[in-house]
């Protein structure tokens, strides 16, 4: 699969403006999700499998008891691409 083009800063800013609670950290975007406890946090992580596999784009996931920190970046492109924002939108829909 060919590398996806990295988005320009103004396009990244525009897309972040419409996402809920996602923040840019260098060449990635990240969001922290909070849950009642570990079972709910890990159940959320399991829900990420289908959308990630569906677009063949996989998040970095950090589980901390009642928190899940998701980081998205297209490593092979060296920055943020359309896939990162597409997956962020799908993840946001999971939590309503």
82 has catalytic annotation: no
Of 58, 66, 89, 92, the active-site residue reads 58
Choose among 96, 93, 71, 68: nearest CA to 84.
71
Q: Considering its fold, how many domains does the chain have in total?
A: 1
Task: Look up the domain containing 19 and give its range.
Answer: 9-95
40 has catalytic annotation: no
What pLDDT does residue 8 have? Answer: 97
Q: Does the pLDDT of residue 20 top 90, yes or no? A: no
Of 13, 53, 60, 62, the active-site residue reads 53
Give mean pLDDT, residues 53-59.
94
pLDDT, one tens digit per residue, over 22-52 is 999 999 999 999 999 999 999 999 999 999 9
The answer to whether residue 54 is domain-embedded is yes
CATH assignment of the domain containing 83: 3.30.1360.20
Residue 70: HSE in the Cβ half-sphere, 13 Å Cα cutoff: 27
pLDDT, one tens digit per residue, over 74-88 is 999 999 999 999 999
């Amino acid at each position: 699969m060919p590398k996806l083009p990295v988005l320009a800063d103004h396009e990244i800013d525009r897309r972040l403006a419409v996402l809920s609670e996602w923040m840019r950290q260098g060449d990635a975007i990240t969001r922290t999700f909070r849950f009642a406890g570990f079972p709910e946090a890990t159940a959320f992580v399991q829900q990420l499998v289908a959308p990630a596999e569906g677009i063949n784009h996989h998040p970095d996931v950090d589980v901390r008891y009642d928190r899940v920190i998701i980081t998205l970046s297209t490593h092979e492109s060296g920055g943020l691409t359309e896939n990162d924002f597409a997956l962020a939108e799908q993840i946001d829909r999971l939590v309503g």
